Structure 1
Amino acid sequence: MYELHDLVEMKKPHPCGTNRWEIIRMGADIKIQCTGCGHVVMLSRREFEHKLKKVLQKAND
């Protein structure tokens, strides 16, 4: 599963060329920030789970 500050990979890459995102807020909605350009996107938890490919790095690692 995923937690706050985990690095995740989404199914589609971001237009900046990076496909690494950091989870910066969790609740009913999940806010993720692109590690390449810093763009922030807010998704519903259902939409986030649908678009999530895999967790790249856990926050406590």
Structure 2
Amino acid sequence: MDKEFDLRDVVQMKKPHPCGENRWQIIRMGMDIRIKCLGCGHSVLIPRRDFTKKMKKVLEKHEE
């Protein structure tokens, strides 16, 4: 089950952030993926393997 996600997409993670928000924007992609909380602006770097496991769904695709 491959979930398609791309840079600047807004994704929902399985667990919400401690600030209460569960919408995250992908701001960097590579071996690790950096996501930014859209509630408080905190950013987290997660290994790609963990990210694909913890991501629930893509909420908004980034339009070029």
The TM-score normalised by the length of structure 1 is: 0.97
Gaps of 5+ in 2: none
Q: Which runs of 4+ in 1 moved over 3 A?
A: none
Q: Give the CA deviation at 1:47.
A: 0.3
CA–CA separation in structure 1 for the residues paired with 2:21 and 2:32? 22
| Alpha-carbon shift at residue 15 of structure 1 (Å) | 0.6
Q: 1:51 aligned to 2:49?
A: no
Separation in 2, partners of 1:59, 1:26: 14
For the residue of structure 2 that corresponds to 1:48, the secondary structure is helix
* Residue-pair matches, total: 61
Report % sequence identity: 61
Other structure's SS at 1:49 match: helix
The reply to whether residue 22 of structure 1 matches residue 25 of structure 2 is yes
Within 2, Cα distance between the matches of 1:41 and 1:33? 6
- Gaps of at least 5 residues in structure 1 are none
Is 1:7 the counterpart of 2:13? The answer is no
Q: Which residue is 1:37 aligned to? A: 40
Matched, 1:60 2:63: yes
